[in-house]
Every structure is written in structure tokens, then in C-alpha cells.
């Protein structure tokens, strides 16, 4: 949602949601509105208990101004759902992004789409049952998932049957729970979380790489999310940089994903184990593919040589792809996020090696690479942000009297 389309009340609530607390003077500067105008809006929001006082700002020589923040005790919440190729997670946040329920998780296998959809429905239902949550106090359900997501239509074009529940997931969830529902691509949601709450905050040009079963990308240009002409910018997984003949999930050969993803690292480990290599992974890796990425990363962090080697191999290929991105987009920062960012200490040296090898030094020196500090919460937080953006008008005009 473009900030220029927001009313003054909505814009102030948006600023406070993403930046915690501000004084009236700060808000005047950020909104480019006069202090009397901002004071009037603040008084109204404060009267309706949508915002509360949050102490005093640091002294700049005169009287310390009062700061304001969103009232986290409001009976208003967001249900956030994060879906990847194997798992779905859900949690209810308050408007300070504080979890009000446990993060619940269920498996989803997109090869059986009807079962996967029902598992997602059951997950949402179970999450709502953790308290008195309903259409009256849930602002919306935010769902992020991989695939060719059309946010405006609420559809996922990766599911070719237009009568399928997962294709129409926004509308199907909305109809079942009678709660406004919003859909976003998983890597885009992660980029939004990093832009407002993570390592990309206050960075005008950033690339956020979602390291998971594939390799996704979110692009921030001039402080704005870049989606491309048809909304599908960021298909980093499918840059043809691999010399392998392995078939990618997209049906093509040569894609970065077949060597740089967690799936590729697990497959490499399994091949080495079959060739007789000794590793703790021989006991840990199972036919339960969804759990294997966590076990691989855990084993690597514990010093297992095969696990380290597998992730390092993926890291080098990831670095090769990043070198390409640096040449094309010249970002200020690149953030490693998503499930695989937990292995950042192992991936980073190999990424840097590839950048040294393939990137023009004077360009590479201008880009900083960071590992996300949001860990596995980034996608859930990003899904919540989507709801907040679309619910600002409803929220701004509500009361808590």
C-alpha cells in the first residue's frame, strides 16, 4: 500500500506501528504536517485509546517532549500464517508484534493440495481457539506462501487448477472464518519484515535473500518494495548459474536453486552418505524431509564436517548468485534471511569467497552483507505487516472506549 494514499490518522498509526514511539515534533517532520495538525490527530487517537503516552523523549536542551505509541493492550489482533514448501506456522500478534499464542506448526505437502489446504484451515482454527479471538477483534489474517502470488486477486498461480483451494486460498480462508484475509509471497513478506524491523531498516537500497527450500529474493529500491511489471520480481532461484544437469522444481535445468538451496544441501549430504562418508547425519537424516533442514543446520553448528561441507557448497553458489545481483542492482545491503539464515556463520565465508572471485571489487566494496536477527520470525512478522497495511482505515476509525 502506498503511504501517499493514507489519511493523516492512518499515516501516524503506520509510523507508530513500524517505529514504536514518536513525539509530536517527530511525527510533524515525518508527515510534513504542522505541529497543530498533528497535535489534533494525536489528541483524537489518544482519546479513543488507540495510542498511549510512552514516556519522554531524550532532552535536546529544553523541555522533554511526550512520546506516543500504539496501545498494545487494545483488544485488536492479527493472525499471521507463514507457509513454506513443507510447513505452515501460525501465531496471533498484538499490535506491538508480541505473540499472544504459541507459534503452532503443521506439515503441508503441496503434492496433495487438498490435504495441505485442510491442514492450513485446521491450523488457523486451532490458533483461534487459544483465546477469545474472532471476527470482532482479529483485524485480519495474513498469509504468506511461496509461488506466483497475485496479491490483488488473492490467488497463487503456482497451482494451475483455478478451482483448487490453494489457488484461491485468500477467498477460501476468508469465507470459512469470516475474517478479512490477505495474501503475499513468502520472500516479499520476509523483505517487508526486514525493511521495517530487521537489518534493512533505514536502508534505501537492500536485497533480502530468503534461504529456504528454494532461494527467494525481496528487492527494496529507494525505500520501496520493488515488485516488477507483473508482480513477480525476485525469482532469484531460477537464475541459470548452475552447471548441474539436475532438474529444478520449475522444470528447467541450470537454476541456482539446484545447488544453493537447503534442499540441495540435504541432497548433497544424502549422496555423500550413500558413498560411505561418515557423519552424524547418517543417524539424524530421515525420510521425514521437512525436518531434515533443521537437522542439517544443527549438525553443522555442532561441527559435523559433512553438514558443514554441504552448507558451504550451497553458500558458494549463493555467493555466485549474489555477485550477479550486486553487478545489476548495486545494493547498499544484502540481508540473509529465512530458515537458512540460522547457518549464516557457515554460509558467510563461502559467500564472500564467491564474491571475491566473481564480483568487481570497487562495486562489491559498496555492499554490506548481514545475517538477519529476526531468525525464523521474519515471515510471520511480514505476514502481520500485510494485515496492518490493509486494515489501517478500519483501525484508525475504531475506538476502545
Average the pLDDT over 170-183 and give the result.
Answer: 97
Cα–Cα distance between 373 and 194 in angstroms, integer?
Answer: 9
- The answer to whether the Cα torsion of 90, 201, 9, 60 is positive or negative is positive
Region 219-225: mean pLDDT is 95
How many whole angstroms separate alpha carbon 308 and alpha carbon 28?
51
Q: How confident is the model at residue 138 (pLDDT cuts 50, 70, 90)?
A: very high
Length of the chain: 401
Residue 398 has pLDDT above 90, yes or no: no
What distance, in Å, lies between the first and last C-alpha atoms of the chain? 29
Residue range 287-341, pLDDT digits in tens: 656 668 888 999 999 999 999 999 999 999 999 999 999 999 999 999 999 999 9
Helix (H) or strand (E) holding 336: strand 333-337
Cα gap 141→183, rounded to integer Å: 9
Among all chains, which residue has been given the C-alpha cell 554490506? 368
What integer is the mean pLDDT of 341-357? 95
Distance CA 330, CA 346 (A): 24
57: cell is 523523549
Closest CA relative to residue 155, chosen from 123, 182, 175 = 182
pTM: 0.93
DSSP-assigned letter for residue 168: T
pLDDT at 94: 95
Cell digits of residue 393: 482505515
Q: Is the pLDDT of residue 399 over 80?
A: no
Confidence of residue 3 (pLDDT cuts 50, 70, 90): low
**Is 288 or 388 the better-scoring residue by pLDDT?**
388
For 29-81, what is each residue's pLDDT tens digit? 999 999 999 999 999 999 999 999 998 887 766 788 999 999 989 999 999 99
pLDDT, residue 36, reads 94
- Categorize the per-residue pLDDT at 401 as very low, low, confident or very high, splitting at 50, 70 and 90: low
**What is the mean pLDDT of the segment spanning 159-168?**
86
At residue 160 the predicted structure's pLDDT band, cuts being 50, 70 and 90, is confident
What is the arithmetic mean of pLDDT over 340-354?
Answer: 95
* Per-residue confidence band for 179, with pLDDT thresholds at 50, 70 and 90: very high
Task: List domains and CATH numbers for the chain.
Answer: 6-68 (1.10.10.10), 75-185+377-395 (3.30.420.40), 198-372 (3.30.420.40)
Question: Over pLDDT 70: what percentage of the chain?
Answer: 96
Return d(Cα 291, Cα 78) in angstroms, integer: 28
Please determine, for residue 383, whether its predicted confidence score (pLDDT) is greater than 90. Answer: yes
How does residue 5 score in pLDDT terms, banded at 50, 70 and 90? low
The pLDDT value recorded for residue 164 is 85
Mean pLDDT computed over every residue of the chain:
91
Amino acid at each position: 500500500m502506498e503511504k501517499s494514499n493514507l489519511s493523516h490518522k492512518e499515516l501516524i498509526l503506520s509510523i507508530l506501528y513500524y517505529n514504536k514511539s514518536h513525539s509530536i515534533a517527530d511525527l510533524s517532520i515525518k508527515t510534513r504536517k504542522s505541529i497543530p495538525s498533528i497535535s489534533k490527530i494525536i489528541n483524537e487517537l489518544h482519546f479513543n485509546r488507540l495510542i498511549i503516552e510512552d514516556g519522554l523523549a531524550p532532552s535536546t536542551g529544553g523541555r522533554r517532549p511526550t512520546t506516543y505509541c500504539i496501545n498494545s493492550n487494545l483488544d485488536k489482533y492479527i493472525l499471521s500464517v507463514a507457509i513454506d514448501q513443507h510447513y505452515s506456522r501460525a501465531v496471533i500478534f498484538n499490535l506491538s508484534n508480541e505473540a499472544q499464542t504459541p507459534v503452532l506448526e503443521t506439515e503441508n505437502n503441496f503434492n496433495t493440495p487438498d490435504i495441505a489446504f485442510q491442514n492450513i484451515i485446521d491450523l488457523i482454527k486451532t490458533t483461534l481457539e487459544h483465546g477469545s479471538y474472532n471476527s470482532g477483534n482479529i483485524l485480519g489474517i495474513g498469509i504468506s506462501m511461496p509461488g506466483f502470488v497475485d496479491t490483488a486477486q488473492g490467488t497463487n498461480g503456482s497451482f494451475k487448477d483455478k478451482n483448487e483451494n490453494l489457488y484461491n486460498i485468500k477467498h477460501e480462508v476468508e469465507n470459512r472464518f469470516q475474517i478479512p484475509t490477505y495474501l503475499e509471497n513468502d520472500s516479499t513478506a520476509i523483505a517487508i519484515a526486514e525493511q521495517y524491523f530487521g537489518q534493512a531498516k533505514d536502508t534505501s537500497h537492500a536485497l533480502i535473500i530468503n534461504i529456504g527450500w528454494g532461494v527467494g529474493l525481496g528487492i527494496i529500491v529507494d525505500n520501496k518494495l520493488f515488485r516488477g511489471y507483473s508482480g513477480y520480481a525476485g525469482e532469484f532461484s531460477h537464475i541459470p548459474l548452475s552447471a548441474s544437469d539436475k532438474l529444478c522444481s520449475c522444470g528447467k535445468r541450470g537454476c541456482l536453486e539446484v545447488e544453493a538451496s537447503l534442499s540441495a544441501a540435504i541432497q548433497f549430504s544424502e549422496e555423500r552418505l550413500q558413498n560411505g562418508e561418515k557423519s552424524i547425519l547418517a543417524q539424524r537424516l530421515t525420510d521425514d524431509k521437512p525436518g531434515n533442514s533443521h537437522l542439517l543446520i544443527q549438525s553443522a553448528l555442532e561441527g559435523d564436517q559433512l553438514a558443514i561441507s554441504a552448507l558451504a557448497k550451497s553458500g558458494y553458489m549463493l555467493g555466485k548468485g549474489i555477485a550477479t545481483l550486486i553487478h545489476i542492482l548495486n545494493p547498499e545491503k544484502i540481508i540473509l534471511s529465512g530458515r537458512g539464515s540460522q547457518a549464516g556463520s557457515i554460509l558467510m565465508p563461502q559467500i564472500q569467497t564467491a564474491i571475491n572471485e566473481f564480483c568487481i571489487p570497487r562495486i562489491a566494496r559498496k555492499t554490506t552483507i548481514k545475517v538477519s536477527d529476526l531468525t525464523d520470525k521474519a515471515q510471520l512478522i511480514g505476514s502481520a505487516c500485510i494485515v496492518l497495511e490493509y486494515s489501517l482505515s478500519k483501525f484508525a476509525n475504531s475506538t476502545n472506549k
